[in-house]
Structure 1
């Protein structure tokens, strides 16, 4: 009888302990319910990064159950805010949007103040990214990348300042494929390059698909090469850099360089949490961000306001960041030379 009584006490104690454990084990959803999340924007109010953040904030609130407080933290070309996110407490209550491409180039070039490792962020996902396109002027008569490369003369490629994206695109892709071209830099803006193309002073340029669309639709420009592995729309039927590399000598090496180059722009405008946030909270935030980005009301609003969206998951964004920063020595030297305008 005594032994049975003791067994009963032990069973009761185990059951109570189990209930207590269940009561104290808090899910990520329970953690975020009613909390406040600081969303850092590394630029002044009113710009594109700020607008994207404020538009998606209500939907992040909807799917996290937390309040989103937008905190503008401009400085050092976006680095101040990026560093703030990277060094934030690891409780998952500080996230933010960053300029992924600029932060990667700053890290690679060892710019003062780049006190972060882009690949170490806990990415929730990407809001938008630039697909890079190489266009030739209709007046040049060039209609294909093969014609550009084998025209029997050095074609003139326009670019903005040394180390800018139009310059980096031109010299890295040009180096990979040994293009016979002359990169003329120093234009104040991409529109200035387009004006020079209309005059016939420049035959081609690199830029984002978004900024090139009007010239393509007007018939002033022809897309002859691009960075998109799965092209759609105006890019269908146009070879990508990966198509060229697949049929070239040293294919594997070329593809490795191009994957790193693609990552510079493909990381785009990601939303990130700092390293060290518990995995369940990261997973919860990633899920909330994906739901927000695919919310029909949010998407309809973006379409109406002509705000581009190009979602990528947190996992995929992290892969792109790693590809752009985890480089072998030769590739790293090439990228740094391009970023510093030494090619």
Structure 2
């Protein structure tokens, strides 16, 4: 009888302790919002959706993609910065547009508002036209633009977006003026050029590849040192005599102030996802470039790159 009483008492203590002092929950308990600062269908959105299943696999939870377009990415970037630093909101920032916003106006975020989780690859810039366009080459474009200053329309993912800055640098290089039409992401800009609502589009090579390969868009050139292996028929700007080199990159961030253990968990999960062999094949097929870099070292690189971007903007004024 005494033995039964003791066992019952032990059981009661265990139940009491588990109620009053519950075991610490394992992160993540629920879906993690992944903020994309652009519309569905653009390069950033596609990159996020391609990455999602690999992060789900290694994080042991679910990423929920949330599109927050507008303000040249600022709405999405600010959503990340203002989120509660509990590990349930992360997202992508886009370089150089993240810094372009800061240097061209007062923004609702600053670089110091974020924790760096991982680099996420990038892509070179290019200029394209509808495949049926009478503009066949960069020289055609330049001739038409000089004959009709400010008339030819060029779409991009936003006012002072990375795409627009690349196009602006080209305009300065060759002395032409184009009529810029900003959109809320590369997806809508691409739709506009396919529908002949704008004559030209400035965007990233990874966003262009499927539409070039399907014969819907013709690229006039790529702003890179060498031709792209998936588009070997497309010449660079440089080999056509125009020395414009331009590219963009993306990074995974979270709001500042994460618990160190949660930050480590996120960094480890994203590193495994980003270096997964199957994911790397996907990145290559998309036409992106990627090299994993230690997050803290990458954060320092971006801080240095921000100064280069500032100087480029001064040249573009």
What is the TM-score normalised by the length of structure 2? 0.59
Aligned length: 274
How many angstroms apart in 2 are the aligned matches of 1:57 and 1:152?
42
Correspondences of 1:54-69 after superposition (within 5 Å):
56-57=51-52, 59-64=54-59, 67-68=61-62
**Which among 223, 245, 258 is matched to residue 227 of structure 1?**
223
Aligned match of 1:7: none
Contact 1:225–1:238 under 8 Å retained in 2: yes
What residue in structure 2 maps to residue 41 of structure 1?
A: 34
1:193-237 Cα deviation digits (max 9, x unpaired): 45549xxx95x5422334544553465654332134453211466
- Structure 2 Cα separation of the partners of residues 167 and 278 of structure 1: 37
- Structure 2 equivalent of residue 251 of structure 1: none
Q: Which runs of 5+ in 2 are unaligned?
A: 1-23, 184-188
| Residue-by-residue CA offset, 1:267-325 (whole Å, 9 max, x unaligned) | 23x3113456698976764443232134356678x69xx98875442548647744652
Report the Cα distance in structure 1 between the residues aligned to 2:167 and 2:112, rounded to whole angstroms. Answer: 24
Match 2:202 to one of 198, 206, 212 = 206
What residue number does 1:192 align with?
Answer: 192
Q: Structure 2 vs 1, CA of residues 237 and 274 (structure 1 numbering), >3 Å: closer, same or farther?
A: same
Q: Which residue of 1 aligns with 2:235?
A: 238
The question of whether the paired residues in 1 share the 8 Å contact of 2:54 and 2:279 is answered with yes
1:210–1:90 distance in 2 versus 1, CA, 3 Å: closer
Give the deviation of 1:109 after TM superposition: 1.8
1:132 to 119, 125, 130: 125
Q: Would you say 1:327 and 2:308 are equivalent positions? A: yes
Q: Which residue of 2 aligns with 1:271?
A: 252
More helix by proportion, 1 or 2? 1
Give the Cα–Cα distance (whole angstroms) in 2 for the partners of residues 50 and 167 of structure 1: 19
**Judging changes above 3 Å, is the alpha-carbon distance between structure 1 residues 170 and 217 closer, same or farther for their aligned structure 2 residues?**
same
Pairs within 5 Å for 1:160-199: 160=155, 163=159, 165=161, 167-175=164-172, 177=173, 179-186=174-181, 189-196=189-196
- 1:116 aligns with one of 107, 110, 119: 110
C-alpha separation in 2, matches of 1:211 and 1:80: 22
Pick closer, same or farther for the CA change 1:276–1:134 going to 2, 3 Å: same
CA RMSD of aligned residues (A): 5.0
Distance 2:53 2:192 in 1: 38
Measured after TM superposition, the shift of residue 59 of structure 1 is 3.5
TM-score, length basis structure 1: 0.56
Q: Label 1:139 to 1:89 Cα distance change in 2 as closer, same or farther (>3 A).
A: closer
Supply the distance in 1 between the matched residues of 2:45 and 2:118 (Cα, whole angstroms): 17
Tell me if structure 1 keeps the 8 A contact 2:155–2:202: no
Structure 1, unmatched stretches of 5+, are: 1-31, 249-253, 338-343
Aligned match of 2:4: none
